[in-house]
Amino acid sequence: MAEKSFNKPTPYTLRVDDQLLNVTKQKLRLARFPEEQSDTGDDDWSQGAKVKVVKRLAEYWADGFDWRAVEAGINADFNQFLVKVDIPGYGPQTLHYAHQLSSRPDAIPLLFVQGWPGSFLEARKIIEPLTNPSDPTTQAFHVVVPSIPGFGPGEAPTKSGFGPMLTARGFNTLMVNVLGYQKYVTQGGDWGSMITRSMALQFPTHVRACHHNFFPCGPPPWYKAPFTMGRLILSPYLYTNRELDSLKNMQYYRKEQDGYMRVQSTRPQSLGFGLGDSPIGLLGWLVEKFHEWMDVANYTMPDDEILTFVMMHWMQGATPGLRYYKMAFAEQGDFNIKASFSRYLDTPIGLSHFPKEIAMPPYDWVAWVANVQFRREHDRGGHFAAVECPELLVQDLRDWFSSEAVRRAMQG
């Protein structure tokens, strides 16, 4: 590939190498599966991914899944580009992104950032209604969806240190210096929440309002917020049912589900030898997350959608997505993930709370560090809101970003 010039986008078409596709099928057909224990129920996921589910998906991946058709659909649905940017504190990095312009003159630039184990494909169901709403009075957006480097197409970072704080700098460079959006709004879940919050802290003149469906903050210090701490101590009596459920979700996650994070944030490369070489290993690792973090009572992820999401990490050999955790927790400075959620941010914030989300704490925790101007609770949905219930997320984004608070912020 010819040397890229800084800040000069080039069109990109997704094309996975034939050899990788052929080797993947060979590996799938040679896979060895674990055995379920006899007293483990069919719907018991407490030991991890179910063998029958992974086996069924693996057989379909090997002999039924039409990647080339899926690939063509992705290329038809997304206007994709590559661009090399110079990231302060890191250096050159090529970014992959999708950019969908609205025909509406009043459209607001919106940056959508995904998390792990997702990819830019999380925005697939929301781009069209956001850019081209059927009602001319509904707020429209120019939607920009970058890939976190290493999460799907594009180039993974080749040297250490690239976590959310530096990702935030790269994405702001994309919005301001490459695309020319001097003022814009953001939406983020999972890593996207952390990246976009860091963006708002580092670049408040550009990031004018944020929306989150994931907000991993803890309670404020008791000596600074005694009433909030008192509510927590007396939560069985003072919390709403939604707050109690949210607290249970967070406690269950910490007790039963965060083992992956401990491994990925300490020894991701060791894990990468297995998950980057075995499609079965990666499939099992990710399927369990989709099942546990989605509202499976209200959304069933189709097999093609599961395998397409898995392919985004398989094409990179899995390790870059795993390594991002170590880079994130190693970052130092005022805008790293810990600092970002322990200080107050004046940028107007909107929140959408989906009942199966793993990190949406009680409102008085969030209000301690965020200027919350919009919040809405939903009766269905989980961690992957844009995938599970896109119509709800789209409506929240329209309502929040068309509000008077955001209009004032964009004019400021």
Over 90: is that where the pLDDT of 336 sits? no
Kindly report the average pLDDT of the chain as a whole number.
95
Q: Which residue has the tokens 């001319």?
A: 136
- What confidence category does residue 333 fall into, taking pLDDT thresholds of 50, 70 and 90? confident
Over 90: is that where the pLDDT of 304 sits? yes
What pLDDT score does 24 carry? 98
What b/e string do you get for 302-338 counting C-beta neighbours within 10 Å, with b at 16 or more? eebebbbbbbbbbbbbbbbbbbbbbbbbebeeebbbe
The contacts of residue 130 (CB under 8 Å, 6+ apart) are: 102, 110, 140, 141, 143, 394, 397, 398
Question: What's the rounded Cα separation, in Å, for the pair 12 and 307?
Answer: 22
- 117: preceding bond cis by omega (within 30 degrees): yes
Question: What's the rounded Cα separation, in Å, for the pair 401 and 28?
Answer: 45
Structure confidence by residue, pLDDT tens digits, 113-153: 999 999 999 999 999 999 999 999 999 999 999 999 999 99
Rounded to a whole number of angstroms, the CA Rg of the chain reads 21
Residue type for 275, please?
L
Paired residues of 94 in beta bridges: 84
Angle, CA 178 vertex, CA 174 and CA 184 arms, to 5°: 60
Q: What's the mean pLDDT in 207-231?
A: 93
Give the chain's length.
412
Question: What's the rounded Cα separation, in Å, for the pair 46 and 351?
Answer: 30
**Beta carbons within 10 angstroms of residue 257's beta carbon:** 15
Token pair listed for 193: 């929440």
What pLDDT score does 213 carry? 97
Residue 172, judged by CB atoms within 10 A of its CB (0-12, 13-18, 19+), counts as buried
What pLDDT score does 271 carry? 97
What pLDDT score does 190 carry? 96
Q: Which residue has the tokens 């008192």?
A: 230
Q: What's the mean pLDDT in 389-410?
A: 98
What pLDDT score does 114 carry? 95
Q: What's the mean pLDDT in 256-284?
A: 96
Alpha-carbon torsion (146, 150, 155, 158), positive or negative: positive
Q: What's the mean pLDDT in 160-182?
A: 97
Check: CB of residue 273 under 8 Å from CB of residue 318.
Answer: no
- Four-point Cα dihedral 28, 32, 36, 42, nearest 10: 10
Q: Is 209 helix (H, G, I), strand (E, B) or coil?
A: strand
* Percent of the residues in the chain that have a pLDDT greater than 70, as a whole number: 99
Edge-to-edge strand list for the sheet holding 207-212: 10-12, 80-87, 91-100, 141-146, 108-113, 184-188, 207-212, 345-353, 370-377
- What confidence category does residue 2 fall into, taking pLDDT thresholds of 50, 70 and 90? low
Question: What's the rounded Cα separation, in Å, for the pair 109 and 101?
Answer: 9
Over 50: is that where the pLDDT of 1 sits? no
Token pair listed for 103: 């025909």
Token pair listed for 56: 């069924």
What pLDDT score does 341 carry? 87
Question: What's the rounded Cα separation, in Å, for the pair 214 and 212?
Answer: 5
In the chain, the N- to C-terminal Cα span, in Å, equals 42
* 108-113 and 141-146 beta bridge pairing: parallel
Residue type for 243, please?
E
